[in-house]
Amino acid sequence: MILEDNIDLSYYLVTSLKDTYNIYLAANGKEGINLLKEIKKPDLIISDMMMPELDGYDFLKYLNSNENFKDIPSIFLSAASDNDNKVRAFLSGAVDFVAKPFSIELLKARINALLNYQKIKKELYEKDKYITMGMLLGGISHEIFNPLLGIYAPLENLELLFENIDDENCQQKGLKYIKNIETNIVRIENVVKSLKVLYYNRDFERTRIDLNEILDSIANIFAAKMPPDRIKFITVVPDNFQLDANHGVLTQILMNLIKNSIDALDGIENG
């Protein structure tokens, strides 16, 4: 985005830069503020210092006071290149200063340097965010895993009790419920293991997958939550089908796809 009140210089800047960048042009700071509200957030702003209605200094003050625009880097262009004006420009929020008259090649080099710096800064921010998230996930996975260990022993005892019940119908129902609980515990364990993989930045372990077993498990989970007249699962897996993947990740992906489909159907019915 370029702010320049001199028509000839504006034309020169646009014609020199338009083949490399998408250019938005404003004649002063007031037009620049209005333009920012209409266009996609620019990667860089080049601004003259002295302009009518709203000069470059006040325009940068506006940018710095706005959370949406304060991180946009800016280059000041000015014929007033004495130290006082340079200091004022940097104090106003400019990150670079180019004195008029200037070489267009020098300006292009400054633009590229600033854009590359912004790219590196963004990559470092994303990397730091990922590390922070990984540490958080690692702590959560630890807190989840410990209670799971305390579920297995009571569940095994409960299974033994149902196996010794004389009422066959009650026994089958109880063992079926226990099997569903065990299946969901395994799912939670796989999620926890996946979180630990993210935390330690390791590769996911790939094994030969029994897709029918995963699909049957998912069908049982959703069947327990939804009335039988709402959902009907039909799985067709070729006999010679082979798949190597991470069990936990694949299960979670399929669960998400099915859940999203159910949510979409609910939205259609309720709409």
pTM, two decimal places? 0.50
Q: Which of 176-190, 191-205, 212-226 has the highest mean pLDDT?
A: 176-190
Comparison of pLDDT for 28 and 80, the residue scoring more:
28
Comparison of pLDDT for 251 and 140, the residue scoring more:
251
Give the gyration radius of the chain's Cα atoms: 31
Mean pLDDT within 214-219? 80
Whole-number pLDDT of residue 228:
61
CA distances from 138 to 135, 145, 200 (A): 5, 11, 8
When pLDDT is cut at 50, 70 and 90, the band that residue 131 belongs to is low
Which DSSP letter does residue 69 get?
T
Mean pLDDT within 198-205? 58
